[in-house]
Structure 1
């Protein structure tokens, strides 16, 4: 057993490790001299040296004893142990080590000697301008080395040959195929791997036009979602499209159109088409599930079956101001002989008679204000556009009436009921030119009746009094009055030239420009609303995935499946996004935080977040990239027993 170096008495007196006795304490400079400049115990028994000059001379003597001229170190033989270690004669007679660092300043013999003084301090060069076409060095790369006179990061000359052919999917988990296809380009040019830039997780980019009259609490939802008035209108149209009648007694027409809903009621001749009673329904097709407008002419028997084939020419017309014709057939499903026409359905549309005239019987209210002139010019331009497409197919509209022209959107009109009179008057011998001339007269009557608030002027049987034109001229400009008179005039027998649609279009050229500008503004507004709703589908799919994972009662005979492993971290993430509270314990309903967090999760960025349990006993620090993989793994685990069809649509 090893013995102690100190006696028990010495161990009791020992307060610290003994210092090696390399020098006497009288030669050691007192620390009080170094710190305070004097020692208060100098004359009271302090054992250290208080003369600083004497201490410096001792230090110099010690330095002289340790120089490069000292004899070589020769270790003695180790005394402990049974095995004796010996050194070879070559090792013992080796030349003493002489460090080259001891050379004088400026003596740098030998090219490999490290000389700190010879190294020039790095000074970054501040660029004077940002000209992309400058011929100087950019980022340490000369234009000659990059093969272009422009910045090498903006040189696109050879990019087309090296970029990967596969399309980049920013939301795909595996991008190895893209990196392999374009690895040579990314490695040689920029040193990065695909993708070239990080994915922008916040993809909600509100674009103009902007609405300024919003209160602060409305601005955030407005930037992300549709305006409430537009949302309400679209919901009403969707509700009208899916509307059904409970316990309806209406039949299924031709075993094809079902769920009929009447769209009009009997109103003083408005439900008459020609000499036949007309009924309009909304119907759903069994073939494709789409909704159509079904117009039924009651009690009509066709004498010539070939007349139904006359709608083939109308099917070729595709115009934004004409309600498209789908098909025509006869039916006895209404317990009589009926002729049925199928048109495209525009929900919540109403006729110009319903919009501009109060058609309710016994009503005491009438229109007090005249229709703005810009709206009348818009009606003329839109119907002119419809007539141009119809006349180009060697057809005539013959249905320009306030009860047949429908308003489908703000100031957006369409000709409804087309092709019906062509089937009814299939054997008529009236020339096509005369029927096209009647289209101009009907258009003039329509504008005059709306401008003077006189529904009867739209009927062909009514004679237009001179007082109506005078009243119209007092309200509107001379140009509009002259255009209406031109539409109402009939060519005299001496005149051989007939009115044509191109002549009307040329006279409306300036107003066509106004309508075109209005349509561009409407398109900008639609695109702005679409940009707000663009990424909502991504968030909806992600929320549905989280909903199938979080708080699941049981899976694969494991009641605590949703509380273990990755599912528990996703539960904490759910609380982090939706269940935050303030210092008072009140819910924090920060819509921006929710959208931003879900976008980051869907993009899988590297940002880390702090997830804590509700009792603050469990804490995780994870990144959105890791959470995205957790969502994919857990959802695939749920979908695996049911096959690939279970995850269809995600």
Structure 2
């Protein structure tokens, strides 16, 4: 026999709706105002699908599925009078606010569409990269819950004894996939480190709660013997294609030429920055806004960065910064005799401000030589000649010892309206990306 279901939907019929009911298909189907066709599944046996003439503006649909006939009201709004849709696919043109977007003077440039696409492809390739396990047997197949390890830095020689500037220990870095969620992460391994006390995990838990657009998030810390010795591993979010600020700005020996060879005190007026091999001031301020924002979040959480250094700051894309390797010093230098693990944080936070000042000064000189103590006077002269007094005052404030505790908030007046410049640039960048997504 045939069961009839009267009403607005077969879902209102108790106990008689079969699993082949068209209701789920109607709910998931995106209606096309130009062509109301309800059946969308080829697997369903549809014997009859008709639409009754509209009464009081509603369309009653009749549909027979598997011997059962359903009547329901099509809730798709009727097309507006005079509205015509093309029967072919077409891309809409760019929105005017993007098509006529003018580059801002001295502003960091955006990716063009092709450049953005290439950047995304490169990130995808890096994310999917794997090694031949037979070629690099020193890399284990699995470490804790991570697999598919891929070295992100040249591996240190196996017999290496001297310790590096990376936290005073030999370190190595890998991309790996977590088997729990199948997502890629960055593993920073501290070679030969035996964790003797887990009190420091209080600080690790505090770091894990911090999520910020300019900080690489710490996900977990664990010990392992998978590498053949005691190792401590820090797992962070993986940002494919990132390079350190050291690599981006301070890895070219010729970049030091202007700073080291210039005859100090014998200049005839300031040279244009581009001729002096210096960075645009707008780029330096973009970096200052991001790094100070990261410090503000870290300090507000009661922690200290302790890695405000060009070797620990990641650059992705054109100008995006993320502070990397957070929390490592807190674990490696943890003092078990301290009753309060946060006792020294105020001191470390003051050191963060000095470190930020050194990073900004190095960027302004486009040379790490500028932050050496014997060169500070020369470096500040360079800043005075080529950059604004606001930038000079900010560097002096950060590098000068004060008789009181300072806060990263103290530099906000020096940043001033440049903060709004960065906000404007970020929103314009968002417009460009949305327009690219629509293509």
Under a length normalisation based on structure 2, what TM-score does the superposition of the two structures give?
0.70
Partner of residue 207, structure 1: 94
Q: Deviations over 1:294-331 (max 9, x none)?
A: 10111212221222342111111111001111100111
Residues of 2 paired with 1:364 and 1:378: CA distance? 24
Q: Deviations over 1:91-143 (max 9, x none)?
A: xxxxxxxxxxxxxxxxxxxxxxxxxxxxxxxxxxxxxxxxxxxxxxxxxxxxx
Structure 2 CA distance for aligned equivalents of residues 173 and 367 of structure 1: 71
Which residue matches 1:444?
A: 357
Aligned-partner Cα distance in 2 for 1:193–1:420: 57
Query: Retained in 2: the 8 A contact 1:442–1:458?
Result: no
Given candidates 254, 258, 262, the residue that maps to 2:151 is 262
| Alpha-carbon distance, 1:483 to partner | 0.7
The one-character-per-residue Cα deviations of 1:550-586 (angstroms, maximum 9, x if unpaired) are xxxxxxxxxxxxxxxxxxxxxxxxxxxxxxxxxxxxx
Partner in structure 2 of residue 169 of structure 1: 30
The CA deviation at 1:211 is 7.6
Q: Distance in 2 between matches of 1:337 and 1:435?
A: 28
User: Displacement, 1:525?
Assistant: 0.4
What is the aligned counterpart of 1:243 among 125, 129, 149? 129
Distance 1:458 1:273, change over 3 A: farther
Query: In the TM superposition, what whole-angstrom CA distance separates every residue of 1:159-202 from its partner, at most 9, and x where no partner exists?
Result: xxxxxx9798225731899x89x963458xxxx98442455554
Cα distance change, pair 457–420 in 1 and its aligned pair in 2 (3 A): farther
The aligned residue for residue 509 of structure 1 is 416
Cα distance, 1:511 vs structure 2 = 1.0
2:19 is aligned to: none
Residue 403 (structure 1) aligns with: 311
The answer for the alignment partner of 1:322 in structure 2 is 215
- Residue 367 of structure 1 and its aligned partner are, at CA, apart by 6.7
Q: Residue 278 of structure 1 contacts residue 295 of structure 1 at CA under 8 Å; is this kept in 2?
A: yes
State the partner residue of 1:470: 381
SS of residue matched to 1:281: strand
Shift of 1:458: 5.5
Residue 205 of structure 1 and its aligned partner are, at CA, apart by 1.7
Pick closer, same or farther for the CA change 1:304–1:463 going to 2, 3 Å. farther
Q: How does 1:272-287 map to 2 (within 5 A)?
A: 272-287=165-180
- How many residue pairs get aligned? The number is 340
| Greater strand fraction, Structure 1 or Structure 2 | 2
- Look up the match of 1:499: 406
The CA distance in 2 between the partners of 1:341 and 1:195, in whole Å, is: 58
Structure 2 partner of 1:291: 184
Contact 1:331–1:339 (Cα < 8 Å) also in 2: yes
SS of residue paired to 1:272 = coil
How much is the aligned-residue C-alpha RMSD, in angstroms? 3.3
Q: Which moved more, 1:200-209 or 1:239-248?
A: 200-209
* Contact 1:358/1:366 (<8 A) preserved: no
How many Å separate the matches in 2 of 1:212 and 1:329? 49
Contact 1:401 1:458 in 2 (8 A): no
User: Residue 10 of structure 1 corresponds to which residue in structure 2?
Assistant: none
> CA offset at residue 252 of structure 1?
3.2
2:244 and 2:315 in contact (8 A); partners too: yes
Q: In structure 1, what is the Cα distance between the partners aligned to 2:78 and 2:178?
A: 47
Q: Distance in 1 between matches of 2:172 and 2:27?
A: 56
Per-residue CA deviations over 1:516-546 (Å, capped at 9, x if unaligned) read 01101100100100111xxxxxxxxxxxxxx
Question: How far does residue 292 in structure 1 lie from its aligned partner after superposition?
Answer: 0.9
The answer to whether the Cα contact below 8 Å between 2:390 and 2:414 also exists between their aligned partners in 1 is no
CA distance in 2, matches of 1:290, 1:228: 27
- Please list every run of 5 or more consecutive structure 1 residues that lacks an aligned counterpart in the other structure: 1-164, 214-225, 533-650
CA contact (8 A) 1:244 1:261 kept: yes
**2:384 corresponds to 1:384:** no
Q: Is the 8 A contact 1:283 1:292 kept in 2?
A: yes
Q: Do the aligned residues in 1 keep the contact of 2:305 with 2:326 (CA within 8 Å)? A: yes
User: 1:25 matched to which residue of 2?
Assistant: none
Q: Which stretch shifts more, 197-206 or 374-383?
A: 197-206
1:184 aligns with 2:70: no
- For 2:131 and 2:256, the matched residues in 1 are separated by 32
The 5 A counterparts of 1:289-368 are 289-358=182-251
What CA distance in whole angstroms lies between the structure 1 residues aligned with 2:189 and 2:285?
A: 33
Unaligned segments of structure 2, at least 5 residues: 1-25, 40-47, 60-74, 103-111, 157-161, 259-276
For residues 505-584 of structure 1, the aligned pairs below 5 Å read 505-532=412-439
Query: Which of 352, 365, 390 lines up with 1:479 in the alignment?
Result: 390
Equivalent residue of 2:117, what SS?
Answer: helix
CA distance in structure 1 between the partners assigned to 2:325 and 2:407 by the alignment: 22
2:322 alignment partner, one of 392, 414, 424: 414
Report the counterpart of residue 7 of structure 1 in structure 2.
none
Equivalent pair of 2:126/2:240 in contact (CA under 8 Å): yes
Higher relative contact order (CA 8 A, sep 6+): 2
Q: Secondary structure in 2 aligned to 1:184?
A: coil
Residues 447 and 484 of structure 1, relative CA distance in 2, 3 Å threshold = same
Aligned to 2:45: none
Distance 1:271-1:291 versus aligned 2 partners, 3 A rule: farther
C-alpha deviation, 1:284, in angstroms: 1.6
Aligned match of 2:79 = 196
Structure 1's 412 and 270: CA in aligned 2 closer, same or farther, altered over 3 A? Answer: farther
**Partners of 1:378 and 1:364 in 2: CA distance:** 24
